[in-house]
Amino acid sequence: MTTTPLHFQTMSELARQLRSGDLSPVALTEHCLARLEALEPTLHAFRLPTPERAMAAAMAAEIALNAGQDLGPLHGIPYAAKDLFDVKGLPTTAGSNLLLDHIAPQDAAVTARLARAGMILLGKTHTVQFAYGGVGINHDHGTPHNPWHQTPHVPGGSSSGSGVAVAAGVVPMALGSDTGGSVRIPASLCGTVGLKTTVGQVSRAGVFPLSWSLDSVGPLTRSVEDAALVYQCIHGPDPRDSSTQHAEFHDVMATLRQGVRGLRLAFAETVFWDDADAEVSRAVRHCGDVFANLGAQVERLAFPEAAEALTLRLVLTAEAYTLHRERLEAHADQYDPIIASRMLQGKDIRATDYLQTMQAWERLRQQVAQTLLDVDALLVPATMIPAKPTAAVDADMDAYAYHNLSYLRNTSIGNILGLCGLSVPCGFTSAGLPIGLMIYAKPRHEAMLLRIGHAFEQATSWHLESPETSWMLSR
């Protein structure tokens, strides 16, 4: 029997109690809703809590489980969804006041799959305006409070509320999207697990878009096993998203516990480490010893493709501007000035430059495939710096721009190269702020990625740490 408080238990632990009868979906949902109500005034993680909907779903899950109708390991467990994901009848604001009345006519593909698996939506979490930012700041709806420090620190973006909600023990899982790091950055800064899936493995249908070439969907969780359970549920082809037509279903749970003995892992020696915080670098380098002790071959690998990838970032700007052009031209004054200025840069990108960059992407991705032919995964810092005080990051446009690029650097490389990635907790700074190890694997190798992350997690205890949240209750 675990001694971990209910709100910090993993989905796997909760699922066992739901089936043993020690816990019911209704009791679990009531507990999560009570924690949300208690912490939300400080955390500001949720854009829209849905308590009535959640309790109705919990009662239905309880009736089904009591009748022997078990929908699987996610049945009866609460979760939250970033406010980019459509939920029928609820607004999808994408973090902007421009979309307050944008009511979803149907569920997004992933929220529909989770509903069929019996999961219980607790509400929708805050995001950076239009998901275009890595620090997690939102000037329209407010910025979530990273629970690891009493002084407001940035949560990471753009899945800011999702990272905070999981880290603070409001929900065991929250959906995020990752275009340049928006799952892995908040996972790293908030001390959770964050999975960036390969584009085309999980449907984006019903997810407010930023870039059709880069958008991906993935979970933030308390354990790698939980991330695997969610991925197992949501990946696969979907007729509503043409990018998934070649999606390959793979049973990631079958190989999750196979360990890393005999695998070849490599520290990618390139820009990932440039100007990185010293405590971050030390913690991530130490992960090599953990893997070596588990029987993996750990080495250093020249990886110049990372630096080249950073020169090929105009695609996101061009696609973001294209998707927002009409709204931006009509309502520029209602966009965050920082986000508007970044999007407007796409206005002057020529079609020839865009197409040449896409060709360069393809060439670079083929080159990476050769470089990684005999390598199972790369090891790098998830973010080059830990969470910083929100006031310092948001002091002016220059400070914001510097920190935004700093948080996005290591993660955006993986998006451009088409890799799948996983951020797992690997330590803390002297100030008690989380540090994330990022594991990169080849496209569509989520099973290998999760297997490696699970082995690391089982050999360490960083994922068992949780923030002290009692100070929030007195505010």
pLDDT digits (tens, 9 = 90+) for 161-198: 999 999 999 999 999 999 999 999 999 999 999 999 99
Q: Assess whether pLDDT exceeds 70 at residue 475.
A: no
Give residue 248's pLDDT: 83
Q: Which amino acid is it at 73?
A: P
**Active-site annotation holder among 24, 96, 158, 223:** 158
Q: Is the dihedral of CA 40, 41, 42, 45 positive or negative?
A: positive
- Any domain includes 85: yes
Averaged pLDDT score across all residues of the chain: 97
DSSP class of residue 145 equals P
Tell me the pLDDT tens digit for each residue of 269-305: 999 999 999 999 999 999 999 999 999 999 999 999 9
The tens digit of pLDDT for each residue in 390-408 reads 999 999 999 999 999 999 9
State how far the Cα of 160 lies from the Cα of 183, in Å rounded to an integer: 9
Is a pLDDT exceeding 80 seen at residue 1? no
pLDDT at residue 474 tops 60: no
pLDDT tens track for 192-235: 999 999 999 999 999 999 999 999 999 999 999 999 999 999 99
DSSP per residue, 390-442: HHHHTSSHHHHHHHHHHHHHHHHHHHHHT-EEEEEEEEE-TTS-EEEEEEEE-
Q: Say if 1 falls within a structural domain.
A: no
Q: Residue 408's domain is classified under what CATH number?
A: 3.90.1300.10
- Residue 72: pLDDT above 70? yes
> How many percent of the chain have pLDDT more than 90?
97
Mean pLDDT of 322-349: 95
Which pLDDT score is estimated for 2? 60
44, 261 contact by CB (below 8 A): no
Is 90 exceeded by the pLDDT of residue 473? no
| Catalytic pick among 96, 177, 182, 412 | 182
Confidence of residue 3 (pLDDT cuts 50, 70, 90): confident
243 prior amide bond cis, ω within 30: no
Q: Is the pLDDT of residue 131 over 90?
A: yes
In the predicted model, is pLDDT for residue 60 greater than 60? Answer: yes
Closest CA to 442 of 188, 221, 236, 263: 263
182 is a catalytic site residue: yes
Domain with 399, as residue range(s), is: 6-473
pLDDT at 318 over 80: yes
pLDDT at 319 over 90: yes
For residues 322-329, average pLDDT: 96
Number of domains comprising the chain:
1
Strands 193-196 and 420-428: antiparallel
Residue 317: predicted pLDDT:
97
Cβ proximity of 162 and 170 under 8 Å = no
Using a cut of 0.95, tell me whether the model's pTM lies above it: yes
User: In the prediction, which pLDDT does 192 show?
Assistant: 98
What 349-354 contacts at long range (C-beta under 8 Å, 24+ apart), as own/partner pairs, is 349/314, 349/317, 349/318, 349/321, 353/314, 354/314, 354/315, 354/318
